[in-house]
Structures are given as structure tokens and as C-alpha cells.
Amino acid sequence: MQGGVSPADAEPETCAVILTNASLNQDSNSKNATPEDFKVHALRTAGTARGANRIITYVSLKTGLVVRATEEASQQMNVTVAKADGSNRIHYDVNARSHSEVVLVVQTAPDPKPLSNRGLNAKLRHLQPVV
């Protein structure tokens, strides 16, 4: 089986478009954003974290299949986790971006291609003479 992206001259597909936006917004004070689970273990945190994702999905109204989907993501974190007494700490400074795209591949008929002379000669070398 072979496949390919729909050719430009293919019949246009009517799609439902789903737009999904998500964001990570820090509500806590950046100087003391320590969750209770950390406080129990005598840890303190400080810093900021934020991010955003955007997904666009195209679903064929005819087939119900996802024809195309794209995602853009951006995340930033600048955080310090430390022992409450200040004896030990670790600092994270992360900036991440990503882009992904998925496109439906349609099944196409195999494209018969003749062997080149080089390919044909390689196949012939493996034949044994018939006596």
C-alpha cells in the first residue's frame, strides 16, 4: 500500500474546524508559590511558570476522519526549589516551544516504475543458470 497527501486538484473537503486554546497562568505569588505537598517535606518554591497551547483540528463532515491537525505550544518555567532552611536548592530555567502537524494520507495505487539498468543487473546477478 502506498499513500500520499491529497493532490491539489482533488475535490475540496468540507470540514468542521475545532479550535482549542489552553493556557497555564500562575495564580500564586511568585516569591512563595509553595504547594502544601512541598511544605510537608520542608521545601519552599519561588518563581514563575506559564504556557500556552493552540490546537486546530479539521474533521471531514463526509467521513468523520481528522483531515489535518496542527499544534503550537510554548512553555516557560523559572523556578527554584529549596530546603526551608536554605541549605540546599535547585534552579530550573526552561523555555520550550513545539510545532506539530498531522495530515491525513490517502491510499493511492502503486506507481509501477521500471527497474533501471543498474537495478536490473543487480537482480540478474542473483540468478543461477539453468542446466
Assessment of whether the complete model's pTM goes beyond 0.85: no
Which pLDDT score is estimated for 7? 56
pLDDT band for position 15 (cuts 50, 70, 90): very high
Region of 42 (left: φ > 0; alpha: ψ -120 to 50; beta: rest) is: left
- On whether residue 131 sits in a domain, the answer given is no
The residues, ordered by sequence, that sit 6+ positions from 34 with a Cβ below 8 Å of its Cβ are 43, 44, 45
> Which structural domain, as residue segments, surrounds residue 48?
2-125
Q: Is the pLDDT of residue 112 over 70?
A: no
- On whether residue 130 sits in a domain, the answer given is no
Choose among 106, 5, 21: nearest CA to 57: 21
How far is CA 31 from each of CA 45, 79, 81, 84, 96, rounded to the nearest angstrom? Answer: 8, 10, 11, 13, 23
Which pLDDT score is estimated for 70? 96
Which pLDDT score is estimated for 128? 46
- On whether residue 21 sits in a domain, the answer given is yes
What is the grid cell recorded at 61? 463532515
Q: Is the pLDDT of residue 107 over 50?
A: yes
